[in-house]
């Protein structure tokens, strides 16, 4: 069998099944698969093979099962053989899984010997990817190697039928990892002998505690204490970006936010991602998610979380243990060094974290999961490539929100979220994660795939690998290719890529692109009218600059509204000069900047304190009611490229605002204007190109209202719509798209 069949209680399960059916033989892990030999009555062997799939343990995923007849060797028992290691083979590595119900019950059972033990696990739950150093999965190749099992644990480990039979992370209070509190400064709260209750006291007193978890540190504060949350923001240098909140139970989550059936399923899944929910009026500190009507909620997923939430009985802010946008800390000493200016105390443990692993972030749109960040619980499970790569490759990914993908054949291992490749720490994180993937999946890439942009650090990462072959892939082609590949489509489609920025093949900044594309290539059929963005990258932080840039396109039309209210005249003068002299005012066709410009005109957002803030606030204002589109004309150039002109749209927004129409109405009408214009243009392009499918990619499709409205309209045009499912619409999917394009290119050559 191939698939996720190691580290998930698979051999014990096979053993149980064989014993139940009175079959002899053996099971063993190898570097590439799990092999089983069985002897016994033919009908029972048949049942055995059928039940393997039906009864497989919760974390298992059988991708391939093959059988063959062997010579009879008259075995009398069923045994688990030693693992057979060999080179050149690979298999999926199980992601970490949330504490299972059986372990949770034992955790709170005073009669159990693991009562309140913070590292309780079994074959159905606990750390995997974050403790595995190499495959095949055995304790000696994990960071649990440091803890020799005591006699009682060994008995569990050796007892067929026990939930911990061959559980490689098995431990107990006698023999396992330990939890302790490290106060770097004198604390006002007396130590109570129990690290967890002291942490609870500290949190109630408004302190910030750094908590070492599965894939790194969290910074925790009482989510109902405004002073504490504000202090965390100030120290972490995170001004406004929403903070995730952890609660213990679904009922706790419902007290904070509305939870649909789909959201409930996501919240309680063993992956336990952060889920963006519609918040209720509640007692949370306003600073948790300022200016938004949604909030990120996750349920406790480790025993430490459960114990802490049980003592505290109030929601906790649990945000990643880092300063600003740096990678999360994973080591005890590293955390004490890097987080000493933020945390008042550290809850540490001695089970080493092999790989950084951020919390995954999701939301539900149109009843389906939409990834905003894919990491814990999901990576490093492979995705399929519709076109096999004949050579092992590394797609280094984008500049921001980086993930990378290593691939060979039809398997693409998309890394967990790495971060923005803008500082040395993140580059180091990239290099070490890349080394880990090569080791875990026995891959030695021969081909590097990178973005077109010559100056990105990701391009440097590709160059420094020194491979004989480097394939550049345009950013928006990668967005569309990622969506095609996850849907297994190789046919040409109309691709709509809406995002903030990507380097275009004409040297301009793209971000609202209509392509006819397949995996092998693309042609740009249409885009948003180019506008100069005064200040370059600064325009992404200051929405008024985008409005000014659009205004400059048609001097006798007024793109005004509220966009320049409160902006210092001196800054406006410099920006206008930049546009006039084309100095630091690159030409941009970005949907992200158009959302910024609209937010500026409506006076919604003066500055983006985090990426996409203006667009998120516009989405909140727009709500769900359908609205009448405003004019957003499209014209064809002499070269046959279609241009969407947003100037009349922005002008109309300003005029309607002056006429007294509410900002809410106009935010809704803006969304539907974009959706209607894009759907009409895509339908026209699809008809011309003779294709019936449209693929949507790019960070703007994290906007649920835009995604829903555009999808509905395209379907009304009779088009099939492919949207991101297993990966994020944002740049987290770029590396997978790069890999798909490169695989198609390499396949074409071979």
Which positions lie near Zn ion, rule CB under 5 A? Answer: 100, 103, 122, 124-125, 150, 153, 172, 174-175
Q: Which residues pair with 37 in a beta bridge?
A: 26
The site partner of 150 among Zn ion, Fe ion, none (C-beta below 5 to 8 Å per kind) is: Zn ion
Closest CA to 143 of 104, 97, 98, 176: 176
For every residue of 292-313, DSSP letters joined together read -SEEEEEE--SHHHHHHHHHH-
d(CA 750, CA 745): 9
Q: Which is nearer to Zn ion, 156 or 263 (CB)?
A: 156
Q: Which stretch binds Fe ion (CB under 5 A): 1-9, 38-46, 449-457, 727-735?
A: 727-735
CB of 99 to Zn ion, least distance (A): 6
Residue 451 touching Fe ion (CB under 5 A): no
* Binding residues for Fe ion restricted to 483-512, rule: CB under 5 A: 499
Query: How many residues lie near Fe ion (CB under 5 A)?
Result: 2
Give me the least distance between CB of 620 and Fe ion, in Å please.
22
Distances (CA, A) of 132 to 7, 168, 352, 380, 677: 9, 10, 10, 12, 49
Structure tokens at 67: 């059988």
Instruction: Give the dihedral of Cα atoms 71, 73, 77, 81; nearest 10 deg.
Output: -70
Instruction: List the single partner that 122 binds among Fe ion, Zn ion, none, CB under 5 to 8 Å by kind.
Output: Zn ion
Q: CB 682 → Fe ion: shortest distance, Å?
A: 18
Q: Which is nearer to Fe ion, 672 or 731 (CB)?
A: 731
Q: Which does 499 bind (CB under 5 to 8 A by kind): Zn ion, Fe ion, none?
A: Fe ion
Which is closer to Fe ion, CB of 317 or CB of 700? 700
Q: Are the C-beta atoms of 175 and 155 separated by less than 8 Å?
A: no
What single DSSP character describes residue 280?
P
Report the nearest approach of Fe ion to the CB of residue 475 (Å). Answer: 6
Q: Which stretch in 299-307, 401-409, 487-495, 731-739 sits in contact with Fe ion by CB under 5 A? A: 731-739
In angstroms, give the least distance from the CB of 351 to Zn ion.
Answer: 14
* Binding-site partner at residue 33 among Fe ion, Zn ion, none, CB < 5 to 8 Å by type: none
Q: How far is the CB of 401 from Fe ion (least distance, A)?
A: 8
Please, which residue, 174 or 237, has the CB nearer to Zn ion? 174
DSSP letters along 490-538, please? Answer: -S-EEEEEEEEEEE-TTSSEEEEEEEEE-SS-EEEEEEEPPEE-TTGGG
Could you tell me the smallest distance in angstroms from the CB atom of residue 162 to Zn ion?
12
Residue whose CB is less far from Zn ion, 175 or 557: 175
Query: Cβ of residue 171: shortest distance to Zn ion, in angstroms?
Result: 5
CB 371 within 8 A of CB 723: no
Least separation in angstroms between residue 107's CB and Zn ion is: 9
Rounded-to-10 torsion of CA 528, 532, 534, 536 = 70
Q: Does 731 bind Fe ion (CB under 5 A)?
A: yes
E strand residue ranges, 21-147: 24-29, 34-39, 61-64, 78-80
Name which of Zn ion, Fe ion, none residue 731 binds, using a CB cut-off of 5 to 8 Å depending on partner kind: Fe ion
Could you say which of Fe ion, Zn ion, none residue 451 binds, taking C-beta under 5 to 8 angstroms by partner kind?
none
Compute the distance between CA of residue 416 and CA of residue 535 in angstroms, rounded to an integer. 33
Buried b / exposed e over 392-403, threshold 16 CB at 10 Å, is: bbbbbbbbbbbb
Residue nearer to Zn ion on the CB measure, 27 or 172: 172
Say how many CA atoms lie within 13 Å of 558 toward its Cβ: 9
DSSP for 164-195, written as a single string: TTT-TT---TTTS--EEEE-SS--SSPP-S-H
Tell me which DSSP letter residue 142 carries.
B
CA–CA separation, 413 vs 383, rounded Å? 6
Q: Which does 174 bind (CB under 5 to 8 A by kind): Zn ion, Fe ion, none?
A: Zn ion
Contact flag: residue 513 with Fe ion (CB under 5 A): no
26 in Cβ contact with 80 (< 8 Å): yes
Question: In the complex with Zn ion, which residue's Cβ is closer, 4 or 621?
Answer: 4
100 versus 275: smaller Cβ distance to Zn ion = 100
Nearer to Fe ion, 619 or 731 (CB): 731
Task: Considering only CA atoms, give the Rg of the chain.
Answer: 27
Comparison of 304 and 585: residue with beta carbon closer to Zn ion: 304
Look-up: residue for tokens 């408004």? 206
> CB 18 → Zn ion: shortest distance, Å?
23
Residues that bind Fe ion (CB under 5 A): 499, 731
């Amino acid at each position: 069998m191939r698939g996720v069949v190691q580290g998930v209680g698979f051999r014990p399960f096979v053993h149980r099944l064989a014993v139940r059916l009175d079959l002899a033989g053996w099971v063993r892990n190898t570097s590439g698969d799990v092999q089983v030999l069985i002897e016994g009555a033919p009908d029972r062997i048949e049942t055995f093979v059928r039940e393997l799939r039906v009864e497989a343990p919760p974390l298992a995923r059988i991708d391939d099962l093959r059988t063959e007849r062997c010579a009879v060797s008259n075995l009398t028992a069923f045994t688990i053989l030693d693992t057979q290691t060999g080179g050149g083979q690979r298999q999926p590595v199980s992601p970490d899984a949330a504490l299972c119900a059986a372990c949770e019950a034992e955790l709170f059972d005073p009669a159990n010997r693991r009562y309140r033990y913070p590292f309780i696990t079994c074959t159905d739950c606990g750390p995997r990817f974050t403790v595995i150093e190499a495959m095949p999965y055995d304790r000696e190749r994990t960071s649990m190697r440091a803890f020799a099992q005591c006699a009682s644990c060994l008995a569990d480990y050796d007892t067929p039928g026990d939930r911990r039979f061959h559980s490689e992370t098995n431990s107990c209070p006698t023999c396992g990892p330990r939890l302790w509190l490290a106060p770097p400064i004198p604390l006002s709260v007396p130590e109570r002998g129990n690290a967890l209750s002291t942490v609870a006291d500290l949190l109630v007193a408004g302190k910030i505690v750094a908590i070492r978890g599965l894939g790194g540190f969290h910074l925790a504060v009482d989510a109902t204490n405004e002073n504490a949350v504000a202090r965390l923001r100030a120290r972490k240098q995170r001004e406004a970006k929403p903070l995730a909140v952890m609660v213990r139970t679904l009922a706790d989550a419902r007290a904070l936010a509305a939870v649909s059936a789909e959201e409930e399923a996501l919240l309680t899944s063993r992956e336990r991602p952060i889920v963006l929910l519609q918040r209720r009026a509640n007692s949370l500190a306003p600073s948790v998610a300022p200016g938004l009507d949604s909030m990120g909620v996750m349920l406790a997923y480790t025993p430490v979380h459960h114990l802490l939430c049980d003592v505290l009985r109030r929601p906790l802010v649990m945000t990643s243990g880092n300063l600003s946008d740096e990678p999360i800390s994973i080591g005890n000493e590293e955390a004490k060094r890097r987080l000493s200016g933020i945390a008042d105390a550290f809850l540490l443990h001695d089970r080493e974290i092999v790989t950084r692993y951020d919390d995954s972030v999701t939301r539900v749109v149109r009843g389906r999961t939409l990834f905003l960040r894919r990491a814990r619980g999901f990576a490093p499970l492979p995705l399929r490539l519709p076109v096999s790569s004949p050579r092992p490759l590394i797609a280094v990914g984008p500049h921001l929100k980086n993930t990378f993908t290593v691939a060979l054949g039809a398997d693409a291992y998309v890394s967990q979220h790495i971060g923005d490749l803008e500082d040395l720490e993140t580059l180091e994180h990239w290099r070490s994660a890349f080394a880990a993937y090569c080791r875990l999946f026995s891959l030695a890439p021969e081909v590097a795939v990178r973005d077109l942009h010559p100056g990105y650090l990701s391009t440097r990462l590709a160059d420094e690998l020194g491979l004989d072959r480097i394939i550049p892939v345009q950013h928006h082609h990668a967005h569309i290719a990622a969506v095609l590949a996850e849907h297994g489509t190789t046919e040409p489609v109309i691709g709509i890529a809406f995002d903030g920025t990507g380097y275009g093949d004409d040297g301009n900044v793209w971000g609202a692109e209509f392509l006819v594309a397949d995996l092998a290539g693309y042609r740009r059929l249409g885009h948003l009218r180019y506008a100069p963005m005064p200040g370059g990258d600064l325009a992404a932080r200051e929405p008024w600059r985008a409005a000014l840039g659009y205004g400059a396109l048609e001097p006798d039309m007024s793109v005004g509204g509220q966009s320049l209210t409160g902006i210092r005249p001196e800054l406006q003068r410099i920006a206008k000069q930049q546009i006039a002299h084309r100095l630091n005012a690159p030409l941009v066709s970005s949907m992200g900047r158009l959302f910024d410009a609209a937010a500026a005109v409506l006076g919604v957002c003066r500055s983006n304190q985090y990426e996409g803030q203006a667009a998120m606030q516009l989405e909140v204002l727009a709500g769900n009611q359908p609205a009448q589109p405003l004019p957003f004309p499209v014209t064809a150039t002499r070269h046959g490229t279609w241009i969407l002109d947003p100037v009349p749209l922005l002008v109309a927004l300003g005029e309607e605002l002056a006429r007294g129409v509410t900002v809410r109405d106009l935010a809704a009408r803006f969304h539907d204007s974009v959706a209607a214009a894009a759907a009409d243009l895509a339908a026209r392009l699809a008809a011309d190109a003779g294709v019936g499918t449209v693929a949507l990619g790019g960070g703007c499709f994290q906007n649920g209202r835009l995604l829903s409205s555009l999808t509905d309209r395209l379907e009304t045009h009779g088009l099939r719509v492919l949207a991101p499912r297993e990966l994020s619409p944002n740049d987290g999917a770029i590396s997978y798209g790069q890999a798909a394009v490169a695989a198609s290119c390499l396949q074409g050559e071979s």
